[in-house]
Amino acid sequence: MITLLPSGQGAEPMPATPTPDPVRETPELRTEPIYHVVQPGDALYKIAAMYETTVDAIVAVNDLATPNLLQVGITLLIPAPNLMGPGPNFKILPDSEMVYGPAAHLYDLHEGVMISSNALSAYTEEIHGQVMTGAEIVELVAVSYSVNPRLLLALLEHQAGWLTNVTVNASIQSYPLKYVVAGYEGLFEQLAWAANQLNRGYYLWKAGWEGPFLFSNGVAINPGAGVNAGTVGVQYLFSQLYLPDEWRNVVSEYGFYQTFSTWFENPFSRAIEPLLPPDLSQPTFQLPFEPNRVWSYTGGPHKAWGDGSAWGALDFAPPGNALGCVLSNEWIVAVADGLVMHVGDGSVLQDLDGDGLLGTGWVMLYMHVETRDRVALNTYLRAGDRVGHPSCEGGVASGTHVHIARRYNGEWIAADGPMPFNLDGWISGGWGQAYDGTLTRGNVRLVACACRASNNQISR
């Protein structure tokens, strides 16, 4: 277990840190405002992302009284981002301390939280119909999003003092990370939001994103030269919480890094580099359903968990012509041998390397697994053994299906990247749009479609 250090005994700022990253070209940004005519299906967040600005900036310059109700055909003025100098190039965390990686098991989360009386140890909340402690909520978010639990704890301490204060006021209890938005009250929603933002920055950087960070006041700041994905994840999260001047302080060596290192020592002392070995290859996987059953390939590469992670997931719908969330007696089966290490709200996580740790080696996610007949925790499954029935349980789903995704050493693996899925020889590919993609085996190509069509039927 990593020993918790008393407050005030953190590591000194480090002049240099590992996790090298090639210096990237600074992206060119618009310098002039432009106009956008609202089209059917447009939403402000989509328009803001398209033009690299923020919703707040668009709302302010257009004086929109009802920003959630855009009228098709109206013209919006899209302000140019106000570009400031690049962000700090101080590295806050190695990549392996951002994700739920190989060093995650070195810290006993429950013992670490309970060794002293604090706001987190006294906290409880009902999640998915079950009353959970503060430590259990941190663990649930960490395991589900594959984000380091130490990082989540340090965020709680930095933002609201939940590890040092015995009690916190009602506002801090409702919004412990200071993300004050209706619908995100409580520890679980705050941590889930934060984990999603951490993942967004991390996986965007991994996918070649060059910036900029966009702030609510319309300012744009490019990432500092040579920063790594783990650092960008933290910087991205804080860009959603602070304005530029305070953000620079928080992501400097005198900001959040000090909180993390005070409680959990120098994060680079546990760095695992590279997190993904250069010779890494996927083990043998089979399709996630039983032989001689014809399923539909309904979703190409898309987000593995939440909407911030890598495009690591594929979707399959069971046989039948019924639409929507219907009961299915078809079976999802294990793609490979491994131990079931987590069973939650519609989700099953299977450890494939046999060490009983979710932060090391290959881990498989099966999502939207119905509670009925679902495999029990600590069950060892052989490839082809039954996991459960497809459903709409867990997350957001408009129809009965199974969502599968992989991670290695805690990192979600893209299904449209250099290591695509290989399921019984079917190789996944993407078309640059979420859910669009193909499965190819030999000279046969299937095309993902949220339908049942001749070119998306697949069987073992």
Concatenate the DSSP letters of all residues of 439-454 into one string. EEETTEEEE--SS--T
Is the pLDDT confidence value at 208 over 50? yes
**Mean pLDDT estimate for the chain:** 91
Residue from 177, 176, 217, 186 nearest 83 by CA: 217
pLDDT at residue number 11: 45
- Within its chain, how far is the Cα of 449 from the centroid? 24
Residue 82, SS3 per DSSP: strand
Q: At 146, is the pLDDT very low, low, confident or very high (cuts 50, 70, 90)? A: very high
**More confident of the two residues 438 and 1:** 438
Q: How do residues 299-317 score in pLDDT, each as one tens digit?
A: 999 999 999 999 999 999 9
Q: At 14, is the pLDDT very low, low, confident or very high (cuts 50, 70, 90)? A: very low
Please give the Cα distance from 150 to 172 (Å, whole number): 20
Contact 162, 118 (CB under 8 A): yes
Task: Please work out, in degrees rounded to the nearest 5, the angle formed at the alpha carbon of residue 128 by the alpha carbons of 125 and 133.
Answer: 30
Residue from 333, 399, 343 nearest 371 by CA: 343
Cα dihedral sign, 247-249-253-256: negative
Is the pLDDT confidence value at 114 over 70? no
Is the pLDDT confidence value at 276 over 70? yes
**Backbone φ and ψ of 349, nearest 5°:** -115, 130
pLDDT at residue number 150: 95
Contact 341, 349 (CB under 8 A): yes
Q: How do residues 332-367 score in pLDDT, each as one tens digit?
A: 999 999 999 999 999 999 999 989 999 999 999 999
**Backbone φ and ψ of 158, nearest 5°:** -65, -40
pLDDT at residue number 3: 33
pLDDT at residue number 20: 63
Arithmetic mean of pLDDT, 181-207: 97
Is the pLDDT confidence value at 6 over 50? no
Arithmetic mean of pLDDT, 96-107: 91
Q: At 236, is the pLDDT very low, low, confident or very high (cuts 50, 70, 90)? A: very high
Q: Is 303 exposed, middle or buried (0-12, 13-18, 19+ CB in 10 A)?
A: buried
pLDDT at residue number 391: 98
Residue 391, SS3 per DSSP: strand
CA 243 vs CA 215, 326, 379: distances in Å: 6, 46, 48
CA 43 vs CA 36, 76, 239: distances in Å: 12, 12, 22
Arithmetic mean of pLDDT, 21-30: 72
Phi-psi region of 208 (alpha: psi -120 to 50; beta: other; left: phi over 0): left
Whole-number percent of the chain with pLDDT over 70: 94
Is the pLDDT confidence value at 111 over 80? no
Arithmetic mean of pLDDT, 150-172: 92
Q: Who's near 401: CB < 8 A, 6+ residues apart?
A: 298, 299, 315, 316, 317, 318, 368, 390
Residue from 335, 460, 308 nearest 402 by CA: 335
Is the pLDDT confidence value at 189 over 70? yes
Arithmetic mean of pLDDT, 408-426: 97
**More confident of the two residues 180 and 108:** 180
Residue 361, SS3 per DSSP: coil
Q: Which residues pair with 430 in a beta bridge?
A: 437
At 267, list the tokens: 């994060």
Please give the Cα distance from 375 to 288 (Å, whole number): 14
Is the pLDDT confidence value at 457 over 50? yes
Contact 229, 332 (CB under 8 A): no
Q: Who's near 255: CB < 8 A, 6+ residues apart?
A: 249
pLDDT at residue number 16: 47
Q: Helix 229-239 crosses helix 187-206 at what angle (to 10 degrees)?
A: 130
List the alpha helices (DSSP H) in 161-228: 170-174, 187-206
- Within its chain, how far is the Cα of 408 from the centroid? 14
**More confident of the two residues 1 and 176:** 176
At 369, list the tokens: 């697994």
Helix (H) or strand (E) segment spanning residue 85: none
Can you tell me which residue has the tokens 């967040």? 45
Is the pLDDT confidence value at 434 over 70? yes
- Within its chain, how far is the Cα of 81 from the centroid? 26
Most confident of 63-67, 71-75, 228-232: 228-232
Q: At 185, is the pLDDT very low, low, confident or very high (cuts 50, 70, 90)? A: very high
Contact 109, 138 (CB under 8 A): yes
pLDDT at residue number 416: 95
Please give the Cα distance from 301 to 434 (Å, whole number): 6
**More confident of the two residues 79 and 250:** 250
Is the pLDDT confidence value at 2 over 50? no
